[in-house]
Amino acid sequence: MKILTKDNPILRQVSKDVIDFDSIKTLVNDMENYLRNNKNAIGLTAVQVGQPLNVFSMKLRVKPYEGRIITLINPKVIGISEEMIQSSEGCLSCPGIYVTIERHKEILVKYSKVNGSVIEWEFKGGDALCVQQEMDHLKGKLIIDYQEEKL
């Protein structure tokens, strides 16, 4: 699986909702395996592997679910904390670059699982930060854009 890097125009596309969940089973498997096999990777969106669909996988880091890998399909943000924190972030698509970004401390997301069931999950700590970067990817936004906003 090849991960696209920042100059690839596909990364700027706005991802579309998944309609046929069966059609993404292999994609989800590949994305979850990538996170499983790459220790430093904590989040990966479908668009980063060339498929602009509203799907991302992430490795949870907050107890009691640390180490678990989950996949969110058609995620929608339904709540955010007013409290913000400074987050120093890297991205698989922007190798060697780290950007400090102001993110919400907590985020409530509604999404579908691969089996089609819909759930709501409140992400906190590092998990909340990861979700916000992945949601940015789905809109075609990269961490380097925050760097440019500050200049």
Stretch that binds Zn ion, among 71-79, 89-97, 98-106, 122-130 (CB under 5 A): 89-97
> Of 6 and 21, which has the nearer Cβ to Zn ion?
6
- The set of residues, in sequence order, having a beta carbon less than 8 Å from that of 72 and lying 6+ positions away, is 55, 56, 57, 58, 109, 111, 112, 131, 134
- Check 82, 89, 134, 148 and give the catalytic one: 134
Question: What strands, in cross-sheet order, belong to the sheet with 106-112?
Answer: 43-45, 55-59, 69-80, 106-112, 118-124
Q: Does 91 bind Zn ion (CB under 5 A)?
A: yes
Stretch that binds Zn ion, among 56-64, 66-74, 75-83, 87-95 (CB under 5 A): 87-95
* Burial class for 146, CB neighbours closer than 10 Å (0-12, 13-18, 19+): middle
Q: Does 42 bind Zn ion (CB under 5 A)?
A: no
Q: How far apart are CA 97 and CA 119, in angstroms?
A: 33
CB of 91 to Zn ion, least distance (A): 3
Name beta bridge partners: 111: 119
Active site residue 89: no
Q: Does 11 bind Zn ion (CB under 5 A)?
A: no
Q: Does 107 bind Zn ion (CB under 5 A)?
A: no
Residue positions annotated with a catalytic role: 134
Given the rule CB under 5 A, which residues bind Zn ion? Answer: 91
